[in-house]
Structure 1
């Protein structure tokens, strides 16, 4: 069965980025693709900050990525780049862990002025970790996602359309690379 790892660099579970996460999980489930989520904010902070490579939580998160066929990387934009919490985890990944994986960045920010964060900040770091097969990342404006309650979100139609297009391409590429889905 095809497996997807999802890394989310949201600072908490109330972030609008979780609306994108929930949407992606639903689409993957509908396609019969299993997924595991790594919420970086839930990993032990001391292990992240002190670069404790042998931490049980870190090695388990790394195993999820290693055993996956594809990877979704979700992050908010802060100061024209991906989140610092995401960076603390990416620094603990083995050098070539993303080789032969299909990668889809899903980014949320305040304006389309930060659109290039995907190509100029996030993708180069992922490439340094061995990634070479990128599906065009999807950038979503944060006000296109409305909080509806406890971890419940509504995504505006235009943003939903762009997310679905990116996720459909990701799934298509996964099916080509792992035909026994």
Structure 2
């Protein structure tokens, strides 16, 4: 699988980015490639002006186009996903997520923000052609421990939910690895 992760946090050290890092580690052995895109590192002027000729945007958009799996993570602000993520998603073509498995991840200060995934982000993903949306994972700030080297580490409940959400991807990868052995033994 070719995997692209999109971090929609404007902060370099964020809980939402830590969810992506955790997923990347779990998927590493099953992936052909994993490319992480921190949207805050894309050129701001090109991003805001939709400068499709900018090499940085071209690269990011091309990586999403070539991906089989897209994981996106965002903090929830004022009951919606980050503006940074919105600006990037607006640059994708109308069917930019068609045929891809998509896993939305989000963090927020309280459970009051939980529904932002279903009512704000999911309709945008659907409008971009995403039909294979895996079970979204939302975590509150209190479900992380600060770590001196890793930034933030999710608690056991969030790890269990992430593991369940990644299950279909890991199972499909295991089946693909087993198929050549079955064919060769025939």
TM-score (norm: length of structure 1) = 0.90
Segments ≥4 residues shifted beyond 4 Å = none
- Note the 1:10-49 alignment, pairs <5 A: 10-49=9-48
1:27 positional shift: 0.3
1:152 positional shift: 3.0
Structure 1 unaligned residues grouped into runs of 5+: none
Deviations 1:4-46 (A, max 9, x none): 1111101122111222122111101143452111110000011
Deviations 1:97-129 (A, max 9, x none): 111001110111112221111111101111111
Deviations 1:45-96 (A, max 9, x none): 1111112122111110011111111111111100101001111111111121
Question: CA, structure 1 residues 10+44, in 2 after alignment: closer, same or farther (shift >3 Å)?
Answer: same
Query: C-alpha separation between the residues in 2 aligned to 1:52 and 1:74?
Result: 23
Structure 2 unaligned residues grouped into runs of 5+: 179-186
Query: C-alpha separation between the residues in 1 aligned to 2:124 and 2:149?
Result: 33
1:180 positional shift: 5.8
Q: State how many pairs are aligned.
A: 178
* Largest Rg, 1 or 2: 2
Residue aligning to 2:181: none
Residue aligning to 1:136: 135
Q: Does 1:111 align with 2:113?
A: no
Query: C-alpha separation between the residues in 2 aligned to 1:95 and 1:78?
Result: 25
Classify the secondary structure of the residue corresponding to 1:179: helix
Q: Which has the higher contact order (CA 8 A, sep 6+)?
A: 1
Classify the secondary structure of the residue corresponding to 1:38: strand
Query: C-alpha separation between the residues in 2 aligned to 1:142 and 1:168?
Result: 24
TM-score (norm: length of structure 2) = 0.88
Classify the secondary structure of the residue corresponding to 1:91: helix
1:169 positional shift: 2.9
Which structure's residues are more often helix, by fraction? Answer: 2
Classify the secondary structure of the residue corresponding to 2:91: coil
Residues 100, 133 of structure 1: 8 Å contact kept:
yes
Residues 3, 31 of structure 2: 8 Å contact kept:
no
